[in-house]
Amino acid sequence: MKNVFLFLFLLILAVGTLPDTALAAIDTLNISNCEALGFVPSLCGTLAEYSRRAGWSSEEEKGFLMKIFAEGEIMPRHDFVKEWNTGLEFGKEPVLGNSQSLGCPFLIDENSPQECISYAWLNTLAVMPSIIENSTYFIPPVGEAFAGYYYELRAPSNVGRSAGSCKTIKDDDDIDDYNNIYDYCRTEFWYEDESTITVKMGDTVLIEENATENGGYSLGPYTAVSQSPVFKSTLNINNRVFMKNYDWDFKYSKTKCKSNCESDCCTTYYRYCCDTELKPTSKVITLPISNTLKRTPQVYQKKEITNDIVVENLKTTPAGTITTNADEYKLFLDKAMLQKTGVKYSLTYSYPPYNILTVTKEPGDGYLVNDIHVAETRNDTVRFTTYPYNMEECKFIALWPFDYDVLECNMFQKATTELDIQIDETHYEIGEEKINVEIDFESDDGNDDAVVTLIYGSQMQGVNVNNGRATATLEPQEGYKTVYAEFKGDDERSPAESFSEGVYGSENNFSVYWRVVLLIAVSYCLVYLAKRYAH
């Protein structure tokens, strides 16, 4: 559904003036308009049947389509919204309120009124892009104000003889019997559209352009100069109506005389309404309509973003933390990517049946990763692990509802440390011997002093390592055979750990063991001697 092409179908209207109640357009977000929304016909049939069986209302159908278009998206679909809104075909039904009309000039027959401007309406519909968050209508510092409108123009009907009619009349006939109500043999009317639409932000004109009858829109690009700008559009409908009159003109004459009486000859003159015309006149009928954006917009203010990235263990399994106050961001470590989706975006609609779409923003919580594992999240801090080959490059992108900022990574790489321990034996007598531990520690930054923690059984001992070497002693414990060593790391160095294994038996178990071994050996010798001397 990434590319939805909208064709808004209006009802076929009967010829003549209809009341506004008969002008209802097809709702663009109705499943009956499914194919116009870009769905394949087979799917449209399935949706229509499902809606019928479920008994969906018009609002429920709209909600369903809104979920298909965008629900819980991690990025706002501003391009889709603009494509939808500017693809709407506005019709006679006004967005809000009633349409306006105005009569024609030149008309002197009050019994036959005509409208030269009809079904006129204008609405400042939206700012694009925009989002609604907690009932606040946010707009970016730079965008476009969107206004839609509709009007129809006409001229009075022609009066008198039809075009091309060359019927003649006698000069002595009563011309008034042949003239129209304007006292001419023919009067023609036509019009020219001189309408304009203007979109303003405060007193600043964003765009002024020619308007087009039968529906259209205008986009006024703006750069906000206040926190809460006011957007207003004005539609100046100017219908210049032309009037051209035709008058009777001489065509030919006929002379008749009485026989043998020239003085009694008479001449009859004939006139016609065909070729001769008078210079046309014109009048402009004007209907101005103004409208202010219904919502009160607020320019979205970005906060200052910080990021602190700490990485460690670069040679083995790199781990790190990122702490940032950004609600949404992307962290790139070479090909690896961590994206926090702190919000989710959906769509809402207004001004049915046309349905102007607007992006809505709600809190969200989630992460998208590639070649990175999220180990832990706590408040504004995320701990992650990745691979050594991803630690060459770093890029941090703060995501906003309308754009993004690429920021420098405030990255600190901790020095890599290595820890190794060795014990002097693999078996100790409990109560008689000590476990002697040798500790070797090394750090890339040259600081080989550290506090290493030894863990064995119930014993935990902190050992100060100087110049990379230290020794320690532990008491053998029954049932425990592994000594662990841990360097927890600090602000400058990565953590490290090591262990060493041995067999640390108890004294009683040791004595029983050797007694069993001695008994087996003596028994073997006795059996051997008995067999030998028996022969």
pLDDT at 6: 29
Return the percentage of the chain with pLDDT > 90, whole number.
41
pLDDT at 290: 95
pLDDT at 136: 96
Instruction: Decide if pLDDT at 179 tops 50.
Output: yes
Q: From start to end of 313-468, where are the E strands?
A: 319-324, 328-333, 336-341, 343-350, 356-363, 367-370, 373-378, 381-385, 394-399, 404-407, 411-413, 417-423, 435-443, 450-456, 459-465
Instruction: Decide if pLDDT at 152 tops 80.
Output: yes
Mean pLDDT score, 350-367? 89
Instruction: Decide if pLDDT at 17 tops 70.
Output: no
What does the pLDDT look like over 464-488, one tens digit per residue?
A: 999 989 999 998 888 888 899 998 8
Give the dihedral of Cα atoms 25, 68, 131, 24; nearest 10 deg.
Answer: 10
Structure tokens at 129: 């892009």
Structure tokens at 353: 């049946």
Structure confidence at residue 167 as a pLDDT band (50, 70, 90): low
232: nearest Cα among 125, 352, 85, 131: 125
Instruction: Decide if pLDDT at 429 tops 70.
Output: yes
Return the percentage of the chain with pLDDT > 70, whole number.
79
Residue 107 Cα distances to 40, 163, 186, angstroms: 52, 20, 14
pLDDT at 25: 60
Ranges 123-127, 357-361, 363-367, 400-404: which has the least confidence: 363-367
What does the pLDDT look like over 503-529, one tens digit per residue?
A: 555 444 444 555 566 667 767 676 666
- pTM exceeds cut of 0.85: no
Mean predicted lDDT score pLDDT of the chain: 81
Mean pLDDT score, 55-80? 82
Looking at per-residue pLDDT, the higher value among 162 and 43 belongs to 43
pLDDT at 4: 32
Q: For the chain, state the CA radius of gyration.
A: 46
Could you tell me if 25 and 10 are in contact, meaning their C-beta atoms sit under 8 angstroms apart? yes
Instruction: Decide if pLDDT at 79 tops 80.
Output: yes
Task: Give the single-character DSSP code of 295.
Answer: S
pLDDT at 113: 58
**Distance, CA of 278 to CA of 205 (rounded, Å):** 42
Looking at per-residue pLDDT, the higher value among 140 and 263 belongs to 140
Instruction: Decide if pLDDT at 321 tops 70.
Output: yes
Looking at per-residue pLDDT, the higher value among 260 and 107 belongs to 107
**Distance, CA of 179 to CA of 186 (rounded, Å):** 7
Residue 479 Cα distances to 318, 457, 476, 483, 503, angstroms: 35, 8, 9, 12, 9
Instruction: Decide if pLDDT at 26 tops 60.
Output: yes
pLDDT at 64: 83
